[in-house]
Structure 1
Amino acid sequence: MDPLPTSEDKLPAGAGATISVIDSASLSNLPLEPYFHCDLPRLQRVTVPAFSFVITNQRGRSVLFDLGLRKDWPKLPPTAVAEIHNDQLGIHCEQDVLDILEAHDFPIENVEAIVLSHHHFDHIGDPSRFPSSTALVVGPGVCEALMPGYPDQEISEILTSDYSGRSVREIDFTSTDLSILGLPALDYFGDGSLYLLSTPGHAVGHMAALVRTTSSPDSFVLLGGDACHHCGELRPSPGQPIPMSARSCITGFLNTHSNDGSQPFFKIQRDARYAAYCHNPDEAEQTILRLQRFDALDNVLIIFAHDASIKTVIDEFPATLNDWLIKGWGSSCRWRFLRDFEE
């Protein structure tokens, strides 16, 4: 697939929604080698956020996209706890998403659904803390692959309490003929303010979300979940090459890695030792190629769940991301990750 923008690369019209980012916790000592190969010492073990998002349309309907980490992580299923110990991860979570929402008097009962990009422990949080009226929205194949949860199924990666007593909606992208820049899509609210996107590869049923932040002109924030664990997997690209103003800082890296500044720095890890970290590498690579088409558009801001590079740029909840285009965060955030390559 050619990631270069074409005359057909136009995003649909619709209403806007407010969106805020919540960083309730962090993961430290996270190894990146299982996700992509990198010989830079500073990218061997990193500390990253675990972003969640509050999205509210113009009629007052609210959803959360991902829940980050839970405070009592030792209560996770044994498989998840074992992963944390095996990877020697540090989890820092004093307040979870619900605590932060309540601290700012956000009405929890207004959250109609928790939309999960995927089921991993650093995204699913603790849904059981939310009212039973809050539905759980998951991607294709999740129910069959993961339910019943632990302890009803010993090897499950989720808890039965994560979904019991509440409605679970599994998105079927084959039931809609909507596609946005090559990605199957679902208009969640039906007003064009929030689209769920099928972005398979990293995990069963992995989804992204496209939120319209302004109209006239249209601007969007794309929530990429774990489609990438570092922006160097997405950028640079033929449609978004490194600007000349940034090349001088990383000339040594470009020369060493024979990169002309128009191809991503990293590729999905294919080493069999790390097979458990990516459900389907082929699909994961195709998802990244499709996301490059969004990234080539200057009115789309892409935020991945663990992108530490943008934390000093964007405003967090209760502030919104809606004026990102006016504030120039697009260019600031897009290339901020290059600091990891500076000599």
Structure 2
Amino acid sequence: MAPNLLHPAKKPEPLNAPPGASAKVQIVDGTARITAPTDVFMTPPIHGHTQMFAPAFSFLVEQVSSGRKILFDLGLRKDWQSHPPAVQSLISGPGWAFDVPKNVDEVLQENGVDVKGGAIEAVIWSHWHFDHTGDVSQFPTSTTLITGPGVKDSFFPLYPENENSPLLSSDFANRKHKELDFEGKSQLKIGGLRAIDYFEDGSFYLLDAPGHAIGHTCGLARVTSTKEGDTEDTFIYMGGDTAHHGGEFRPTEYLPLPAEISPSPYVSKFASVCPGHLFEAIHPRKKGVDPYYDLSTHVAHNHEESIHSNERMQVFDATDNVLVIIAHDMTILDPACGLEWFPHGTVKNWKAANAAEKVRWLFLRDFVPAVENSVP
């Protein structure tokens, strides 16, 4: 057992990603901030962590050789009150709040990406939930909307023609809509998930990760490539809503809770390094090799599939050349993580910046009240 682990670590299975080119990837903070009840998304309750405070990220992905650009996820639209009644009924209860100064298209346009001029080839929704769909109507009709499988069969006709649909017709009007086909000719699998090579050069894959929602899809972008002279291939895994909090997919048997956690999530008492046993003691199962939370059945379309997709993501998370970023991870906004953001930089150098190790256990900050409550 490594000296810095509370438990021995199991080696993750290989992902078997084929070689390929690299993509230019930028994380876009669309300015949305969401407050939501924790128990809607995860269980069992942990003392002091009753509300989530979350961003809603987008990813600008560019094929370097051609300049073709896509957006993976659009976050939350600033006029979120215009969502159909089927959505409003779910987010109007106690504990929900939204602050959205700008749409993602505005953030891009203001920083040199000519959205209005058709710079974005396609918008790809990880899934159809309101905090990922943005406002596609602000993009020209030359921009294709891509969704996972099953969206058309499940939700068309759209609102307002169909008052029960959660999707707005304005997002699809006069625009090409393409559903991903994971049952097609490609038999490619990466990390056990069916994959589509979007640019057909190995730079960006769309992965079939069902469960949370109909058609839920993840992204996998290669940001350095040995084919291009880099020392290794490194990737960004765009996890969408496979999880909503780090405690839903960490720790694992591949990434056990460390004996010493650095950077410290409990800085008020341990400035730089925190003893891991304090956080194992407040684990619902007292196990530093299991995620703290289970996925709630409240928001999962298919709970069993959502668990499987989450378990697959755990393998990516434990692979040392992959950085997993879920759509609502507040911890990566910490400047100490070393990530560069749109418009100032790309995530190409995340591994050199040691970003994965810096961000991995920061979610434990949310459990400090539980630790303090447990100490006599």
Normalised TM-score (structure 2): 0.86
- Tell me, which stretches of 5 or more residues in structure 2 are unaligned? 1-9, 262-272, 372-376
| 1:334 aligned partner | 360
2:188 is the counterpart of 1:178:
yes
Aligned position for 1:227: 242
Distance between the aligned counterparts of 1:242 and 1:41, measured in 2? Answer: 19
2:216 corresponds in structure 1 to 206
Counterpart CA distance in 2 for 1:97 and 1:65 is 11
Q: Which residue of 2 aligns with 1:73?
A: 80
Write the deviation string for residues 39-93 of structure 1: whole angstroms up to 9, x where unpaired.
3343211211010110001121100001111111111111112222125421111
When the two structures are superposed, what TM-score results if normalisation uses the length of structure 1?
Answer: 0.93
Q: Which amino acid aligns with 2:207?
A: L
Matched, 1:147 2:156: yes
Alpha carbons 2:71, 2:123 under 8 Å: kept = yes
Question: 1:129 is matched with which residue: 102, 114, 138?
Answer: 138
What amino acid is the match of 1:183?
A: L
- For 1:23, the equivalent position in structure 2 comes to 29
User: Of 12, 34, 40, which aligns to 2:18?
Assistant: 12
Tell which deviates more after alignment, 290-299 or 41-50. Answer: 41-50
* SS of match in other structure, 1:21: strand
Distance 1:82 1:129 in 2: 25
Question: Which residue in 2 is equivalent to 1:285?
Answer: 307
Please give the residue correspondences for 1:36-55 in structure 2 after superposition, counting only pairs within 5 Å: 36-55=42-61
Counterparts of 2:172 and 2:163, CA distance in 1: 16
Which residue of 196, 200, 203 maps to 1:193?
203
* Cα drift, residue 296 of structure 1: 1.3
Aligned partner (choices 235, 260, 264) of residue 245 of structure 1: 260
Cα displacement (A) at 1:327: 0.8
Within the candidate set 75, 98, 101, 1:94 is matched to: 101
| Structure 1: gaps spanning 5 or more residues | none
Percent of residue pairs bearing the same amino acid type: 39
Q: Could you tell me how far apart the structure 1 residues matched to 2:82 and 2:285 are?
A: 46
**Which of the numbers 308, 321, 329 marks the counterpart of 2:330?**
308
Give a deviation string over 1:276-315, Cα, whole Å, max 9, x none. Answer: x110110000001111111111110000000011111333
1:259 and 1:223 mapped to 2: Cα distance?
29
SS at match of 2:304: helix
The 8 Å contact of residues 118 and 203 in structure 1, kept in 2 or not, is answered as yes
Q: Distance in 2 between matches of 1:133 and 1:249?
A: 54
Using the TM superposition, name which of 309-318 and 115-124 deviates more: 309-318
Q: Partner of 2:36: helix, strand, or coil? A: strand
Larger Rg: 2
Hey, what's the Cα distance between the residues in 1 that align with 2:43 and 2:111?
Answer: 41
- Asked whether the equivalents of residues 68 and 123 of structure 1 are also in contact (C-alpha less than 8 Å), the reply is yes
Query: Could you say which structure has the higher helix fraction?
Result: 1
What code does the residue aligned with 1:327 have?
Answer: A
Q: Distance in 2 between matches of 1:110 and 1:27?
A: 26
Q: Identify the match of residue 156 of structure 1 among 165, 168, 175.
A: 165
Deviations, residues 109-137 of structure 1 (Å, cap 9, x unaligned)? 12000000001111001001101000011
CA–CA separation in structure 1 for the residues paired with 2:46 and 2:248: 14
Alpha-carbon distance, 1:253 to partner: 3.8
**When the two structures are aligned, how many residues end up with a matched partner?**
336
Letter of the 1:291 counterpart: M
User: 1:258 deviation in Å?
Assistant: 3.5
Q: Which residue number corresponds to residue 166 of structure 1?
A: 175
Provide the rounded CA distance (Å) in 1 between the counterparts of 2:94 and 2:296. 16
Provide the residue aligned with 1:259 in structure 2.
286
Supply the AA of the counterpart residue of 1:229: H
Instruction: Give the Å deviation of 1:338.
Output: 2.0
